[in-house]
Copies of this chain bind each other. A is one copy, B any other.
């Protein structure tokens, strides 16, 4: 492995920090790339937590102040995986330090921040990218190929919803994602940004939009501690929800297509239902991230009487990214069945019993 290294410093160790760390740790195991990722430093403000994260996620070291990483000449990339209110400062500083920047979405909490960040990276002349990961799902990348190759013809409709239900219970506490000063917005920035990115990726720029935001539950129990989505304990004191619970948008695209967008955290039964449908003059596609390994495709040029939406399992070598993983039909995530097996086996290897898998 004599390839050059791409050395990364990551800011943030919660949900996104865990996900990004995994990506860095695994990417050279599955992809034959021109560089090997080196996981040098992870940064967080709470020393015992970031130290534990470094160990668990596989980083060589940790710091509690991201400026230390900016000063490290070995670090090529700064990955910003913190809540939205800190993105702008970190990115501008990292750009000034000449680092490549990988930033979680939404870019900033306001348009002004985003523009400032963009100016900073352009002025500094540094490479930069936003972690719009849904573009990288095989089925979404396949949609892109199909649209670009003209398989769907002229696009008429975009129909996108992102439905979750984790705060539908009014007793769910006031976590940081419901605090505008930290999160910037609610379902709009957290969820709708994925839909907007997919729509722009697939159909191009928006021409005009109109829409509403709604907050169904205006006060909630104050969370015991600022934590990630699932981690807060409620108290009896109430505080104001300062972000949107739901956002609804109608749109026109420059291409002439029209679209509907809806993101909500109040759609009971839907856990992570990010679904986008596109109808064109030659066919349609439907994708739902909850069934991430499938793409529904209707080809209007199929013979009469034989037409119908087909479910493509995007696990073939012919599909984007999929060939890097497992044989056809073995969905991504298949490998975790073995990990679960090994976890149980390791548990039992320290016990007295003999037969492990039972």
Within 8 A of B (CB), among A251-292: 252, 256, 258, 260, 262, 264, 266-273, 277, 279-284, 290-292
Report the separation of the CA atoms of residues A310 and B133 in the bound assembly, to the nearest whole angstrom.
Answer: 28
Report the separation of the CA atoms of residues A23 and B146 in the bound assembly, to the nearest whole angstrom.
Answer: 34
Of chain B, the residue at the smallest CB distance from A4 is B350
Q: Contact at A313–B279, with CB atoms within 8 Å?
A: no
Within 8 A of B (CB), among A315-341: 315-319, 321, 324-341
Q: Contact at A157–B33, with CB atoms within 8 Å?
A: no
A329 neighbours in B (Cβ, 8 Å):
164, 270-273, 290
- Identify which of A50-58, A63-71, A109-117 touches chain B: A50-58
Q: Contact at A272–B328, with CB atoms within 8 Å?
A: yes
Determine whether A26 belongs to the interface, using a CB cutoff of 8 Å to chain B: yes
Determine whether A185 belongs to the interface, using a CB cutoff of 8 Å to chain B: no
Of chain B, the residue at the smallest CB distance from A163 is B279
Which residue of B19, B122, B166, B337 contacts A335 across the interface (Cβ within 8 Å)? B19
A294 vs chain B, min Cβ distance (A): 8
Q: Contact at A137–B337, with CB atoms within 8 Å?
A: yes
The answer to whether residues A27 and B326 also contact, given A22-B338, A127-B356, A309-B310 and a CB cut-off of 8 A, is no
Report the separation of the CA atoms of residues A264 and B173 in the bound assembly, to the nearest whole angstrom.
Answer: 40
A256 vs chain B, min Cβ distance (A): 8
Of chain B, the residue at the smallest CB distance from A259 is B248
A62 vs chain B, min Cβ distance (A): 14
The answer to whether residues A308 and B318 also contact, given A157-B246, A354-B125 and a CB cut-off of 8 A, is no
Q: Contact at A292–B345, with CB atoms within 8 Å?
A: no
**Can you spell out 6 A-B residue pairs with CB atoms less than 8 angstroms apart?**
A20-B338, A126-B354, A131-B341, A157-B246, A157-B267, A273-B329
A19-B338, A268-B284 given; 20 more Cβ-contact pairs under 8 Å? A22-B339, A23-B335, A23-B341, A24-B342, A25-B29, A31-B343, A37-B346, A132-B357, A156-B246, A159-B262, A268-B280, A268-B300, A272-B327, A272-B329, A305-B316, A306-B310, A307-B310, A309-B310, A331-B333, A332-B333
